[in-house]
Homo-oligomer: A and B are copies of this chain.
Amino acid sequence: MSLRYAILGFLSSTPASGYQIGREFQNGAGSYWSALPSQIYPELHELEELGWVSGQVSKTDRLRRKIFRLTPRGEEELQKWVEADNDYPPERDSERLRLIFLDGAPPDVIRRHLAGHRAHYDKRLVVWRGLREAVEKRTLRQLVRRLAMRPPADHELVIRLKLLALDGNIRRAELEIAWAQEALEWLDALEADRRKRRRAQ
C-alpha cells in the first residue's frame, strides 16, 4: 500500500505527470520510496478512479503529458495514512546472509564483500548529503514548492522534518561504512597474524 501514499505525498507538494513521478521514484533519487513506471502508471489510474487524484492532459504543452493533482479527498486520505502507526517490514538482508555463510570462503572473497558494502553506502551517502545541502540552501525543487503552498509559520517545521529524515539516512550510511571499514581492518589483522604463525611454525 505504501506506493499509493508515496505518490500522494509527492503530489501533495506539487502536481506532476506520471513520468515526473517516475524520475523521482527511480532508485538513487531523493525520495524514500522507489518504483518503476510500470507500477506508477496503473497506480495513478486507480487513484484517479478512487477520486484521490485528478489528471488532465495539458493543452498548452506539445508533449501530451497528463498532469495529476491531489483532490481534497486525496489530501485527507494521505493525512490519515501519514498519521497512522507504521508497520515495520520483516528483516530481509541478503548481504548479512551472505556474510555469515562466507565462513568457508577465502579471505579475499570476504574482503570483496565488505569493500562492496562500503562502496554501496559511500554512494548512498553522497546522495543523502547532497540532498541535505539542497534542503539547507532551499534549492531542492520539491521543498521550494512545498514551502510555497504553506504559511511561513510552518516553514521551520517542514524543513526540520526533512533534515531529520535525511540525517537519519546519513547516519545509517556512515554507520555501514564504518562497520565495513572496521571489519576490513580486522580481516587484515587476522591475515597478518595467520601469516606470522605459519612462518613461526
- A residues near B, CB below 8 A? 2, 5-6, 9, 12, 27, 31-34, 78-79, 81-105, 109-110, 112-113, 116-117, 120, 146, 150, 154, 157-158, 160-162, 164-165, 167-169, 171-172, 175-176, 179, 183, 186, 190
Contacts and interface: CB of A to CB of B under 8 A. Distances in A.
Indicate the member of A90, A93, A102, A158 with the most B CB atoms within 10 Å: A93
A82 B95 contact: no
A162 B86 contact: no
Nearest to A103: B158
Nearest to A102: B82
A104 B160 CA distance: 12
Nearest to A3: B92
B164 A99 contact: yes
Contact of A97 (B6, B99, B104, B172): B6
Contacts of A12: 101
Q: Which 8 A-B pairs have the closest CB atoms?
A: A34-B90, A27-B90, A32-B96, A103-B158, A86-B95, A2-B94, A82-B101, A32-B93
Contacts of A84: 98
Contacts of A96: 32, 165, 168-169
B105 A86 contact: no
